[in-house]
Structures are given as C-alpha cells and as structure tokens.
Amino acid sequence: MNCCVVGGGPAGMMLGYLLARAGVEVTVIEKHADFFRDFRGDTIHPATIDLMAELGLLEEFMALPHTEVPELSIGVDGKVYGLVDFSRLPTRCRFMAFMPQWDFLTFLAEKAKQYPNFHLSMSSEATDLLWRGDTVTGVRLGDRSITADLTVACDGRFSVLRETSGLPVREFPMPVDVLWFRVPRRLGATPTLGYLGGGQIVLAIDRGEYWQCGAIIGKGTMGQVREAGLDAFRDSIAGAAPFLAEPLATLVDWEQVKLLSVRANRLQRWYCPGLLCIGDAAHAMSPVGAAGVNYAIADAVATANALVTPLRTGTLTTADLHRVQRRRAPAVRTAQTLQRQQTANLVRLAGSRPPLGLIRAIDKLPPVKHLLGRLIGLGIRREHIRFEQA
C-alpha cells in the first residue's frame, strides 16, 4: 500500500522519513519551494533529540547549527530567572536545542531521499481530496492528482484537507495574537521563555545574524497597536527586553511586522476512510510553551508505529487510524488545557506587574524546575520508535 503525506513541516517530514525507512511507498507534498518560513518554531525538545538517537542519527543531527539550553529562563525588567531545568531528564541529551527549523526539515528530507520508495514533491499545493464514495483515495494538486491508499494531512493549523474532509472540529477561543519581526543580532542573550516588562511580553529566537522576535498582543488589537505608532511599539519591546533597544532602530516600517493569528482547535475525529489528520491539522497548538513541534513529531512517530505493519501487509483499515487518535488524543487534550491556562496567565501578566515573588521562588526551588523540565522536555506522552527498518 502507498501513502501520500500532505505538508512538509515537522509532522509531515518525520512521518515521510519513518515510512520510507520502514519500506512503505510514500510521497510528501509541500506547497512551498523550500522550508524557509519566519513563523516556524526552532525548539527541538529532549524527547525529540532522543528519537534521533533511536534512529541512529544523533551524531549527524547534533552537527547541525544549534544552541544547547539546559535551563530555560524568563527575563523580568532586565533580570533573568531560571524556571525550567532539563538536567535531570532520563534522556541522552539533557537540554533543549534551538535549531532553525528549516535545517531540521532539510536534514529529514535528505535522510529520507536515501530510500528509493520516498518521493518529495515541492511547489505542489493540495487543493482538494479525491473520493470514491465515502473513502478518500488521494489528493488533487491543481490540474493533476495523486492517488494513495492512505492520505495523511499534515498541512498545518489552516489545513485545507481538514476543511474539505468535513471532519468536525472544536475551536478554542484564544485571547492573544503575536506580532512577528526580526532585528539584527548584535548582543548575546540567553534563550528564554520570554521577556516581561512594561506591560509587554516578548519572545526572541536566536537565528544567528538576527533575532526573530514575537510580541504578544491582545486578539484582534493589531489596529490599535499600529495606531499608537511604531515608536510606541519599539519602546514597549525595549521595555521588556532592554538588550533589543539598539537593534530595534532597524524596525522602520510596519511592513516589517507580520501578524501571526494564534489559533487553537482539535478535531473530534482525526480520520475517515483513507484519511488521517495529525499535528496541527488535527490539533492546532498555541505557541505558548513551544509545544507544537514536539507534539507534531510525537504524532508522526505514533502514526508510523501503528500503521507500518498494515501498510506493509496491505491490511490497513479505519480501525488502524482510530488507534492513532486513541493513542495521541489524551496527551493532546491535556497539553491544550495546560496551554489555555498558560495563555490566560500571559494575558494577566501583560496587564499587570509580573509576580516576581513567585518567579523568584521557582528560581530557588530545583524540584519545581525539574518537574517543569520534565513536563516541557518530554511532553505528556513520550513516543519511541517501535517498528523495524525494512
């Protein structure tokens, strides 16, 4: 049996590689010509790094440009406090890696291309599903189509395949959006969960020559932020993250600021005959806590574990697709609940003075930091490779 994976993000590329490695005929469809996107998350969690070791790829993977962060901190009014400690995790590498996601995806694509049963079609946009009765038989790509015994939707939080499938989805209101921009990286700073100050929350991702920054704003308030002016916006960012004050001078036009609409939802049923949705296509995650990449990759591993044998033997049924949702849905539900609570806390933080007493207390309590490290570093349900290479 053959499989068509739509979407070349973390879930799609990992699943494509795993299926190819297992001997399944697989085609990955990616609508863009490359993997370079500003909106990509750059966090590689310890659980994901362990998966690379299980695949025998750890040494090559860690040779890619990255920053190793054994502890995540939070910056408040120019001071940094430790909150999340990975040093006690039962993993090979006890740190989070900050790695440009395009490097990660390119690495997976190159490894997958070693298998003759793997095919990658870039600049190919899936616009619709192919049906035979109530069964999905492939995807339409403009004026051409690809047939498949199984189609896996990995096409993100605004999944076209999810919409055309008619699968019921539950939306969760999110009170924030993110303004995304970049400034030159002239001064070093420790990667953190965020910077708080002056009623503003700022994220800063180290991408070598520049900081990829995100500013948390209220949902639908982009117009108000622009109306206040670019000077006020720069001042609010510098108030939270003083080390960005000088580089912010390069932010001279609103065209340099992009709106990332934060969306959180979850399919009630992830599948129908011939179709399975995973990653953000099944459950869009908030960027809070940087959990989306980790959960998408865990979905891909669980999917491969459940489906490799029925795909190899030609015995795939809808019950096999249900097994994937049954395995992953409880962890996703728990993670999304925690994210909604974290997002509500962010809204409160942005509107008041940060709770310095609590932050200082956590900074001085190693057991709490280790617990947070386990929750963030491993996720709710950790996945391992359970199938044999073909």
**Separation CA 115–CA 358 (nearest Å):** 52
Instruction: Tell me what pLDDT residue 343 has.
Output: 74
Q: Say which residue, 40 or 225, is predicted with more confidence.
A: 225
Instruction: Tell me what pLDDT residue 140 has.
Output: 96
Residue range 176-260, CATH number:
3.30.70
* Residue 344 confidence class, pLDDT cut points 50, 70, 90: confident
Instruction: Tell me what pLDDT residue 350 has.
Output: 59
pLDDT at 235 over 70: yes
pLDDT at 349 over 70: no
The total of other beta-carbon atoms located within 10 Å of residue 275's CB is 28
**Separation CA 54–CA 190 (nearest Å):** 29
**Residue 217 near residue 176 (C-beta atoms within 8 A):** yes
**Domain map (residue ranges) of the chain:** 2-67+97-172+263-343, 176-260
Residue range 2-67+97-172+263-343, CATH number:
3.50.50.60
% of the chain at pLDDT higher than 70:
93
Instruction: Tell me what pLDDT residue 352 has.
Output: 60
Sheet with 271-272, strands from edge to edge, namely 118-121, 25-29, 2-6, 150-153, 275-277, 271-272
Those residues with Cβ within 8 angstroms of residue 120's Cβ, 6 or more apart along the chain or in another chain: 8, 16, 27, 28, 30, 109, 112, 113
